[in-house]
Structure 1
Amino acid sequence: MTELFQEVWRMLKLGIIGTHWITDQLLDAAVQNGHWQLTSVYSRDRQRAQDYGQPHGATAFYDNLDDFFMNGDFDVVYVASPNALHYQQVRQAIENDKHVIVEKPAFTNPDEFSQIEALLQAHPAVRLVEAARHIHTPLFKQVQAQLGQMATIQGATLTFMKYSSRYDQVLAGEQSNVFSLDFAGGALQDLGVYPVYAAAALFGEPNSVVYFPTMIETGADGKGVAILTYDDFEVTLNFGKIANSHLPSEVYGLKDTLVMDNIADMTTATYYDAEQTAHALTAEVAENSMRPEIDAFTALFEASNDLNQLKNYETWFKLSRLVNSLLYTLRQSAGIKFPNE
């Protein structure tokens, strides 16, 4: 009985905002990790919260956010609501001293990010991480390591374009949050985050950026091309939600090339040397692509003051800040503004 009590006591208690497929994936990864217990669920519809949470073991259900944060019994909250709601919900979480996992993109502009950063300084025990799953995978880290061994970089093309079934609603004259400016939607703010994150993680901060979007009926961007300019090369990002692409992503050396099958859901990566000999990069690919990030976040939340964990946290936070700035500047270059700005 004592060992069982100790095991339960060590579990991280989780609260969630957002009851859809991405939350299913996170909960599955948390179950696989073995250190998590879902306790509390928020939805605007309490019955929906209960219907969603009970099968996952949750025991407390809320339709009032103030009640959720003040009375919910959880250590960490996962925020997977529409983009425009992230800022206020994350703010409430920090004010109530809850750790936060927020879905990408964390916030819509640098002003929101700066305000959250200041609030974190007032709550130094709280940790905030952005759920950009692909940068935590072992294969992405292998790509980073291989990139560091390439003598010359002449540029890159990173692609992630996948047709969204929600666009069928738009074509039928209906509303969809993911394509609504009111909810900070659009291609850049959704699938575009993956190549932007990858570029920032692989190459750092560019000197300048510009975005050429394809606009759709809702006033949001459906797909587009972004160009990030560095000292000696450019990185082209090709992404969207109104078409499908089967192109790989590539980093160009001099005679060598690094090829990835999918920058967001990478399962293979190959380095072609100067003689064009293929060298497959080897790393475990999890069945659930969120598992590596959940493992990384678990280690942080369980030892949030450990020096190694603090170093990881600082790296992730700086990257999140850079991505936030890049997304905003890209939007500004294309003249895309959200109603709250």
Structure 2
Amino acid sequence: MIKLGIIGTNWITQQFVEAAQATKQYQLTTVYSRHQDTATQFAEKNGATATFDDLNAFFSSDQFNTVYIASPNSLHFEQAKQAIAHHKNLIVEKPAFMNQKQMAEIQRLLDQNPDVLYFEAARNIHTPNFHAIAKQLGELKTVSGAEFTYSKYSSRYDKVLAGEVPNVFSPKFGGGALQDLGVYTVYDAVTLFGMPEEVAYFPQLIRTGVDGKGTAVLSYPEYTVTLNFSKISNSHMTSEIYGLKDLIEIDDGGEIQHVNYVDADGQRHVLGENDGTNPMIPEAQDFARVINDPEKPQNQKDYAYWRQLSVYVNKILFNLRQDAHIFFVGEGEKVIGDQRD
């Protein structure tokens, strides 16, 4: 049984905890929050026995061996370093880290501590529907491009319109559409098509200084992949992977609840449907499989692949921000710019 500690008590943490418990492979034991009352409430609701409002004391606890980090984006790096120093496996909510310098440091620490396992929680690529997409993609005779869209209006944008700066739209905390919904679409592209040759990003900036929505273009040798994402508007546009006369049709690039193959005659063939279960269960199962049996050859192969994907996605996200001249607090253009290549 994996003893789980968590950082963050928001809705996504609740969803992951429920997914983890549904696998029967995890036991939530420990909760950290900046506010003791919040930690206690979350622990009582979910069956944890230990709570902390001091991060050093939390990581020093022997009541958990794996930590799920779902704090604001800008805090992931330092918390991940603490986890590694205390030999805790870490599951970091996407996006794992802000830039290539942070990612390189984490990879160095992981290499020095091979007993620690690291996972980026990008739930979409672990789902059965995503695997169905990948399988059908391999059967296309020709691939001529793709478009992935994932746009959902955030209730936090109401606060921006009211003059506030919530974390998810704050440059201090690494917010913005690319760093949130955009991550899923970048994972779609990199997992299915590999690393692009060039990237470009065309953001719509909002008052807080981050991107509320945007379009990214990833250039491959024979086609382009376009990513559309927004936290300030809704979209019901489907995502598509193009063959010649045929295509793969996806409801959106994040949830991936409905997937069809549309043949050359326009006939739809269902590849995958939403089964109504918690969408984070597949990733929780995958992570548990590796944590529980890290020496199994297939698990080692999968782990190395997921870890490399995380590095690739981090690089693309960083380069997209560089292209659009989007910098977070503490990231000077002169300093960060040296890391692009």
User: Do they superpose with TM above 0.5?
Assistant: yes
What is aligned with 1:7? none
Label 1:185 to 1:167 Cα distance change in 2 as closer, same or farther (>3 A). same
Please tell me the root mean square deviation across aligned C-alpha atoms, in Å.
Answer: 1.0
Out of 136, 142, 160, the residue aligned to residue 132 of structure 2 is: 142
Give, as a single letter, the amino acid of the residue that structure 2 aligns with 1:270.
N
Label 1:268 to 1:284 Cα distance change in 2 as closer, same or farther (>3 A). closer
Offset of residue 64 of structure 1 = 1.1
CA distance in 2, matches of 1:148, 1:304: 28
CA distance in 2, matches of 1:196, 1:274: 28
CA distance in 2, matches of 1:31, 1:167: 32
Q: Could you tell me the TM-score, scaled by structure 1's length?
A: 0.95
What is aligned with 1:42? 32
CA distance in 2, matches of 1:72, 1:164: 37
Offset of residue 195 of structure 1 = 0.5
Q: Could you tell me the TM-score, scaled by structure 2's length?
A: 0.95
What is aligned with 2:277? 287
What is aligned with 1:272? 262
Out of 209, 222, 225, the residue aligned to residue 219 of structure 1 is: 209
Query: In 2, are the aligned partners of 1:98 and 1:126 still within 8 Å (CA)?
Result: yes
What is aligned with 1:169? 159
Out of 144, 150, 154, the residue aligned to residue 144 of structure 2 is: 154
What is aligned with 1:83? 73
**Are 2:293 and 1:297 equivalent residues in the alignment?**
no
User: Structure 2 regions of 5+ residues with no counterpart?
Assistant: 332-341
**Partner-residue secondary structure (3-state), 1:312:** helix
**Are 2:171 and 1:181 equivalent residues in the alignment?**
yes
Give runs of aligned pairs for residues 244-263 of structure 1, distance below 5 A. 244-263=234-253
Offset of residue 72 of structure 1 = 4.3
Offset of residue 190 of structure 1 = 0.4
CA distance in 1, matches of 2:276, 2:56: 36
What is aligned with 1:3? none
Label 1:293 to 1:212 Cα distance change in 2 as closer, same or farther (>3 A). same
**Partner-residue secondary structure (3-state), 1:192:** helix
Offset of residue 32 of structure 1 = 0.9
What is aligned with 1:94? 84
Out of 315, 328, 332, the residue aligned to residue 325 of structure 1 is: 315
CA distance in 1, matches of 2:245, 2:296: 43
What is aligned with 1:108? 98
What is aligned with 2:330? 340
Offset of residue 242 of structure 1 = 0.2
Query: In 2, are the aligned partners of 1:101 and 1:129 still within 8 Å (CA)?
Result: yes
Give, as a single letter, the amino acid of the residue that structure 2 aligns with 1:193.
V
Offset of residue 286 of structure 1 = 5.1
Displacement over 6 Å in runs of 4+? none
Offset of residue 263 of structure 1 = 1.6
**Partner-residue secondary structure (3-state), 1:58:** coil
Offset of residue 34 of structure 1 = 0.9
Give, as a single letter, the amino acid of the residue that structure 1 aligns with 2:221.
D
Query: In 1, are the aligned partners of 2:129 and 2:271 still within 8 Å (CA)?
Result: yes
Identical counterparts, % of pairs: 50
What is aligned with 1:70? 60
User: Structure 1 regions of 5+ residues with no counterpart?
Assistant: 1-10
Offset of residue 285 of structure 1 = 3.5
CA distance in 2, matches of 1:339, 1:30: 34
Query: In 2, are the aligned partners of 1:142 and 1:283 still within 8 Å (CA)?
Result: no
Give, as a single letter, the amino acid of the residue that structure 2 aligns with 1:211.
Y
